[in-house]
Amino acid sequence: MAGIAVSATINGDSVEYLCQPDETLLDVLRDRLGLTGAKEGCGTGDCGACSVILDNRLVCSCLVLGAEAEGRRVETVEGMAHGDKLHPLQQKFLEHAALQCGICTPGFLIAAKDLLAKNPDPTEEEIRFGLAGNLCRCTGYDKIVRAVQDAATVMKGA
């Protein structure tokens, strides 16, 4: 089976790769490009651990074919920080201990980034529903919601 040649922009960098037609974007990111920040928790779009932003849309990368990324922009958790400066969401997740095991964290950060880009001043309810596609089994979500609220405040002020 011949591979499909794909050119995409990932975290601002032009990237070219070959992938099989049944290979997901998540497989490509993790196994071909070494970007293991996005996690596979279910492979069926039910947990959000593989969340990435594809042309300004939040998606589960397990539900996107690698071939579909042709000519598109992909943002992953690896692209959130600028140099050694963390994104406010990353900083607030640390300060609020919004992670325990941390496996869901990359997905939450990406989903929260997308949420705040579209709604810079969300209510608690909007945050909760906005992040409902991301499962966390450790925290009970309390500290995650607080971290997003705090990050929103900081980002508004910036």
Judged by CB under 8 A, the chain residues 39 through 98 that form the site for other proteins are: 39-49, 51, 54, 57-60, 62-65, 67-68, 70, 76-78, 80-81, 86, 90, 93-97
Q: Which of residues 108-147 bind other proteins (CB under 8 A)?
A: 109, 111, 114-115, 124-125, 127-146
- Which two three-digit tokens encode residue 81? 């920080």
x/- site string to other proteins, residues 16 to 35, per CB under 8 A? ----xxx-x-----x----x
Q: Does 37 bind other proteins (CB under 8 A)?
A: yes
Q: How far apart are CA 8 and CA 12, in angstroms?
A: 9
- Which two three-digit tokens encode residue 137? 């089994």
Residue 31 DSSP class: I
- Bridge partners of residue 51, in order along the sequence: 60
Q: Does 13 bind other proteins (CB under 8 A)?
A: no
Which amino acid belongs to residue 138?
A: C
33, 99, 116, 152: residue in contact with other proteins (rule CB under 8 A) = 99
Total residues at interface with other proteins (CB under 8 A): 81
Q: Does 151 bind other proteins (CB under 8 A)?
A: no
Residue among 150, 143, 115, 146 nearest 129 (CA): 115
**Signed CA dihedral, 20, 24, 29, 30: sign only:** negative
Q: How far is the CB of 158 from other proteins (least distance, A)?
A: 18
Q: How far is the CB of 4 from other proteins (least distance, A)?
A: 6
Give the nearer residue to other proteins in terms of CB position, either 8 or 59: 59
Q: How far is CA 22 from CA 4, 27, 35, 81, 113, in A?
A: 10, 10, 19, 31, 29
